[in-house]
Amino acid sequence: MARGKGGGTDFRALVRWPAWALALLAFASAFTPLAPGLVHGLRWALFLGSILFAGLGMGEGRRMAFFLYGVLALLVNPIVPFRFSPEIWRLVLASGAIWLIADNLKSGD
């Protein structure tokens, strides 16, 4: 387990695997038909995960990550949802999944 500067466990390392799992589920859902309840749960998970990672990005001074997670949270917002065609939702889910995977690659931290 990765250790932070203060000797505790690095929070980024703890959320890396759940982020990958969420990204793989989002990527798979972009190419397969899923039940509406599962898609609604996925949108909630992506929304909450995006808010969490936007906060992490802001705390680490990563403006682009903060912006992209904010856009993803806005698009998958389950509270006031957008109404897109299925093709656009597939694009949103796939691009969100690719960003989650790319941002959570182990990069020497």
- pLDDT tens, N- to C-terminus, the chain (109 residues): 454 455 445 777 788 888 989 999 888 888 888 788 888 898 999 999 999 999 999 998 999 999 999 999 999 999 998 888 888 888 998 999 999 999 888 665 5
Q: pTM (2 decimals)?
A: 0.82
- C-alpha–C-alpha distance, residues 9 and 64, integer Å: 25
Give the per-residue pLDDT at 11. 79
- C-alpha–C-alpha distance, residues 101 and 106, integer Å: 10
- C-alpha–C-alpha distance, residues 51 and 57, integer Å: 10
